[in-house]
Amino acid sequence: MRRRNFLSAAGAAVATTVAGCSGIAGQTESDDERTLVVGTYSAFIDAPSTSPGAWLKEQFEAEFDARLVWQTPENGVNHYIERQAAGVDTETDVYVGLNVDDLVRIDQELEEGLFVAADDVDGSDGVKSSLAFDPESRAVPYDTGYVSLVYDSTRTTAPETFDGLLAEESAGDLIAQNPASSATGRAFLLHTVSRFGPDGYLDYWADLQANDVRVLGSWSDAYSAWSSGEAPMVVSYSTDQVYADRNDADLQKHQVRFLDDQGYANPEGMAVFADANEPDLAREFLSFMLRPEVQGEIAVRNVAFPATEDAQLPDDYASLAHEPPEPVTFTYDDLAGNVGTWVEDWERQFAEN
């Protein structure tokens, strides 16, 4: 994908959370205190459902002689791509929330590596081999999700197939996300490419538009709109009932549908920046994130599946976190040279219709 579509202005705002208040990334309260700056997406900190960010910060700071600063640029990992392309230090140690298509974009946009290999981090040998998505071992998976439909069964019955979304009775019922600005939206778009092929997915999306699909900028935007009752179906994750059950919500209003019995696998990874100020502390953080008790908390709070086999999960987790009969995904090699074109063509068509 070319910069026009994926990269916002180089001066994009960056939100930082420092010990419960706003501050400048990297700023320390004393010369002796180490500060770990971790970039991530905003929902990891302040999702409308729940988020692991505050808990991780508290636990990490309680154990390590350091302070953790969360950094949430509006355009995600693209903020750091822009900085490196401009020859500016990232001023960040770790990024949490990488997807395979992020890595493809990084490798296409930058001549020098943004991240360093981290395959020998303590605990990385416990990550499920099926989740590995980086051929250069920079990104260490920390959780995974399956993109699916979530729907309110008191208002509608979600169709069982992609074609069913085009039926008249589903008109205006679906909220999705923009694949140029949302990892969830991009995963759903890629699922349509997998289902209908590179030569057919745009025709499918034209039919979705004709059936009044609503596309919002981010997952948080879409889920909030759905939660407010603006439509009965939303593109989200098959772990939605984990959140609903924890908040004593009516599970009938949080039903999961795998279209054509498929769910798009979307593992998330973390990586250490090549110009990290605290590379050793960054690697300790990655190892911390892979501990069984931390993996369990990340899964529950981020409403996802853990990346490791030994994660400590609640007894009822398996009954609430649904796995698709047929997981589908694209590999790094599948996406290299393709994902940018697919998203750009979608943007062009969606804007014109």
pLDDT at 2 over 70: no
- Residue keyed to tokens 């959370």: 17
Residues 282 and 236 in one domain: no
Q: Who has greater pLDDT, 165 or 42?
A: 165
Beta-carbon count within 10 A of 119 CB: 14
Say whether pLDDT at 230 is over 90.
yes
- Pair 150, 136 in one domain: no
Q: Assess if residue 63 is contained within a domain.
A: yes
In a domain, 328, yes or no: no
**255 pLDDT exceeds 70?**
yes
Whether 39 and 177 share a structural domain: no
pLDDT band at 162 (very low <50, low <70, confident <90, very high): very high
Shared domain for 285 and 244, answered yes or no, is no
If asked whether residues 275 and 255 sit together in one domain, one would say no
CB atoms under 10 Å from CB of 95, counted, come to 27
9 and 90 together in one domain? yes
Is 134 part of any domain? yes
pLDDT of residue 247: 87
- Domain of 244, CATH number, reads 3.40.190.10
Q: What is the pLDDT of residue 148?
A: 98
- Please give the average per-residue pLDDT across 39-56, as a whole number: 87
Per-residue pLDDT band for 168 (boundaries 50, 70, 90) equals very high
Does 293 reside within a domain?
yes
Top pLDDT among 343 and 46 is at 343
The single-letter DSSP state of residue 60 is H
Structure tokens at 217: 């900028």
Give the chain's domain count. Answer: 2
Average pLDDT, the chain: 90
Per-residue pLDDT band at 31 (split at 50, 70, 90): low
Range in 45-54, 97-106, 272-281 the model is least confident about: 45-54
pLDDT, position 75: 86
My answer on whether 281 and 257 are in the same domain is no
Chain segment 316-343, per-residue pLDDT in tens: 999 999 999 999 999 999 999 999 999 9
Rounded Cα distance between 9 and 26, Å, is 22
- As a whole number of angstroms, the distance between CA 314 and CA 13 comes to 38
279 and 314 fall within a common domain: yes
Residue 348 has pLDDT above 90, yes or no: yes
Same domain, 191 and 80: no
For residue 10, the model assigns a pLDDT of: 35
Could you tell me the two tokens for 267?
A: 């593992």
Give the structural domain span for 253: 146-265+333-352
Q: How confident is the model at residue 48 (pLDDT cuts 50, 70, 90)?
A: low
- Is the separation of the CB atoms in 353 and 209 below 8 Å? yes
Q: Which of 299, 300, 264, 308 is nearest to 146 (CA)?
A: 264
How far are the Cα atoms of 39, 40, 94, 143, 210 from residue 270, in angstroms, in the given order? 10, 9, 7, 10, 38
Are residues 234 and 318 both part of a single domain? no
pLDDT for residue 26 is more than 80: no
Counting residues of the chain whose pLDDT is more than 70, the rounded percentage is 91
Paired tokens of 44: 């990891």
Same domain, 7 and 122: yes
How many whole angstroms separate alpha carbon 230 and alpha carbon 84? 40
Q: Indicate if 21 and 93 belong to the same structural domain.
A: yes
Query: In the numeric block, which tokens belong to residue 260?
Result: 């054509």
| C-alpha–C-alpha distance, residues 242 and 145, integer Å | 12
- Domain assignment present for residue 338? The answer is yes
Identify whether 327 is part of a domain.
no
